[in-house]
């Protein structure tokens, strides 16, 4: 009888999208989302992408794997306003060595509001550089 071959697992997702609603406390007196809110929305999207890949950031931290933002760029194109429902799209651009690069699009009903890119560096619990776990590397 031939032996069964384990199926090859599907590749881990490289993209995710999350919905966020602009909260009152994230806005200036004119009801426009403050620029400091955008990095928070990017982090929400990254965390959900990690979850879609079958991992929780809490578990990585418990294993001594931490990610720090080493670089961030944001390009604001249109204003987000109080109570807008936004979709934050995130995509892994590159993961190798000690870095992961993500690209983002923030949209309101399909209208592009902002684009962004982050470079995360992987560090241990003491803040020293370490390799990105194999499960998160480009394969």
Q: What angle do CA 81, 83, 89 make, to 5 degrees?
A: 75
Residue 20: closest CA among 68, 111, 82, 103: 82
Q: Which of 28, 83, 124, 138 is catalytic?
A: 28
Residue 28 annotated in active site = yes
Residue 98: closest CA among 60, 54, 58, 68: 68
Q: Is the dihedral of CA 124, 128, 133, 134 positive or negative?
A: negative
Active-site residues, by number, are: 28
């Amino acid at each position: 009888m031939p032996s069964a071959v384990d199926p090859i697992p599907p590749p881990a997702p490289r993209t995710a999208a999350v919905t966020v609603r602009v909260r009152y406390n994230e806005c200036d007196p004119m009801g426009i989302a403050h620029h400091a809110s955008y990095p928070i929305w990017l982090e929400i999207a990254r965390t959900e992408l990690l979850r879609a890949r079958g991992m929780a950031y809490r578990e990585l931290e418990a294993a001594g794997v931490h990610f720090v933002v080493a670089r961030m760029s944001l390009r604001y194109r249109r204003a987000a306003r109080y109570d807008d429902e936004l979709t934050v799209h995130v995509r892994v651009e590159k993961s190798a060595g000690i870095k992961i690069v993500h690209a983002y699009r923030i949209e309101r009903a399909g209208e592009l509001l902002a684009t962004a890119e982050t470079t995360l560096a992987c560090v241990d619990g003491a803040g020293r550089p370490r390799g990105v776990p194999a499960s998160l590397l480009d394969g």
